[in-house]
Amino acid sequence: MNRRLRKQLPALLGMGGALCACIVGLGYMGFQAYGKATANEYGCFESAGQRQTVVLVDVSGPRFNEEQARSLRHYFDKLYSDLGFNEKLSIITTAEDQIGSVPTPRLHVCGQATHPGELEAINAEAATSGFLARQKERLYEKNFGPAIAELLSPDSESQQRFQSPILEMIQSIRRFHPLRDGDRLIVVSDLIQNSDSVQFCRTRNDMPPFSVFAKRPVYRRLKPESLEGIDVEVLMIQRQGYGHDVYAYCYGEEELRKFWRDYMIANGVANPGFVRIRHGFIED
């Protein structure tokens, strides 16, 4: 061995040892990560148990006014903020491409972990509470916030110009989405059903008391699978002009509210909640 090589040997050995340590460390990290649960781009751990929240948004005309849109944006922001860890929030609309098909969410996201223990419980990579808070904010800014802004915009592409098939959509959601005990269904609508089957307010006697409606052949076709065990909340968009023009055959909000409350209870909902959206304010 020449003199120059002898001088370089300690440095070479040191570099080789560092390289080996680095390789071993990376291998250990890879071994540690192997088999860990990972979230998809929507923040969902699909392999873990998930509570489901499905929101049906009626996008038929007339659109929400500016104040109503602001109130709904506030509601959706709070809904996102309060999601439980890995709770899956799906938003479905009554847009034209959804009628007569399997209802496909316009958006879905999952509630984010707020402390490391939640990740450890499902064998996911640990993270600090600060990192988790930033991750939740990034998911909002990238996915949830822009989608809700587009949905509530007066120029939204998600619109329904001709029909408001609320009964059909609830039936489809119940049929094609795996809602279980403790899951939630939220309906955002003026509750004025308008489809090929039934036209509330527009056609005389199409919205009798629910006890009468339930005996009609059309209801046998529109009846959903049981909603028992599912928490249901209705955000009722107020309209002006009940009893006149296109709303000639319904006489007030209470008539609509009573029909839908009776419908929900008859289909297994223990205590349906109704929230009135009026003039930009949310009122119980």
Residue range 157-178, pLDDT digits in tens: 776 666 899 999 999 999 998 8
- 242: Cα within 13 Å, side-chain hemisphere: 14
CB 110 within 8 A of CB 80: no
pTM: 0.84
- Main-chain dihedrals φ then ψ at residue 56, nearest 5 degrees: -100, 120
Where in the chain are the domains?
1-34, 52-283
| Band (24; pLDDT cuts 50, 70, 90) | very low
Percentage above 70 pLDDT, the chain? 81
CATH code at 52-283: 3.40.50
Of the candidates 197, 189, 195, which has an alpha carbon nearest to the alpha carbon of residue 162? 195
